[in-house]
Amino acid sequence: MTQLENGLFIEEARPAAETGVPVVLCHGFPGSWHSWRNQLPVLAAAGHRAIAPDMRGYGRSLSPKDPADYDRATTVADMTSLLDELGIEKAVFVGHDFGAQLTWDLPSWAPERVAGLIQLSVPRMPRSPIAPSQAYAYMARKHFLHFHYFKETGVADAELDARPAEFLRRLFFALSGAGDYLSCWDFPAEGNGYLDVLPEAPALPWPWLSEEDFAYYVSEFTRAGFTGGLNWYRAADAVWEQNAGRDDQPITVPTAFIAGAEDPVLTMMGRECLDTMAGLVPGLRSTTVLPGAGHFVQMEAADKVNAAMLEFLGGL
């Protein structure tokens, strides 16, 4: 890995001959550059310089304790300064989970740096009329909601830092195509932590996650803790405020969307969210929904995701 002057650590795969546009891969929660281990060598073999950072707050990258340091102006600056340090004018940005939320915003914040988008799991939605914390508090009156639980600094941090391996195993499986994440909604918010509501998970290995790969996640979160990742949730209101006037700007850069058919995100939003996204993203060239895969689609269906990415990139 390489440390950049902006405080991010990156893992990079360089092609023998750089014939394609550079690609920056942005993970979400609870992730790592390692979430793109199946994409980096494939992209490089196709002629793309592939860069996967540990996002702010994760792994070996800088991890401020103040949620204010995770607002949109700051996280956009992470990406533009990454390009500057690597001598890259424009890149295709690939986003997953919170990484997708950031990369959906890049065309309005830094249009001159975005050659295209490949978005995984999180479709673009219209701007909420109320602040995220208000919406989460309302939903938490009905059932446990991790967005609301994560809001109070120190509470979730302590729970997850104490049992990182158990949390990661149970969350990875619950959000997968074989899991049952929405069973968390059977529990009330009051009096419950995340590990009180997450379903049990089978022992590793799984078809898409080896014991060795899982151990890497556990070691990184054991060392770095979860506060940095949780601060992306705690910055949600600040991001919402900063995106006023930007959220509904049409995205015209070439865009591909990829998701697992069993992703709880699509279940919660309803499949009509894909039609809504298409209206907000005139640059949308392809939507790929992969049967059997869940939220971690780039790991669960790596070969099919890689094929969809390469087909999109080949058309730029």
Q: Structural domain boundaries of the chain? A: 2-129+235-314, 132-234
**pLDDT score recorded for residue 187:** 97
Query: pLDDT for 85-136, tens place per residue?
Result: 999 999 999 999 999 999 999 999 999 999 999 999 999 999 999 999 999 9
Count CA within 13 A, CB hemisphere, residue 256.
21
Residues above pLDDT 90, as percent of the chain: 97
Query: pLDDT for 227-279, tens place per residue?
Result: 999 999 999 999 999 999 998 899 999 999 999 999 999 998 888 999 999 99
Long-range contacts of 217-221 (CB under 8 A, 24+ apart): 217/30, 217/32, 217/34, 217/168, 218/164, 218/165, 218/168, 220/32, 220/34, 220/58, 220/59, 220/60, 221/30, 221/160, 221/164, 221/168
pLDDT band at 223, cuts 50/70/90? very high
**pLDDT score recorded for residue 271:** 82
Query: pLDDT for 2-12, tens place per residue?
Result: 999 999 999 99
Query: pLDDT for 130-176, tens place per residue?
Result: 999 999 999 999 999 999 999 999 999 999 999 999 999 999 999 99
Q: What is the CATH number of domain 2-129+235-314?
A: 3.40.50.1820
Instruction: Quickly count: other Cβ atoms within 10 Å of residue 84's Cβ.
Output: 15
**Rounded CA separation 160/180 (Å):** 20
Distances (CA, A) of 155 to 97, 139, 159, 224, 229: 22, 19, 7, 16, 14
Tokens 């302590």 locate to 158
* Active-site annotation, residues: 97, 295
**pLDDT score recorded for residue 1:** 87
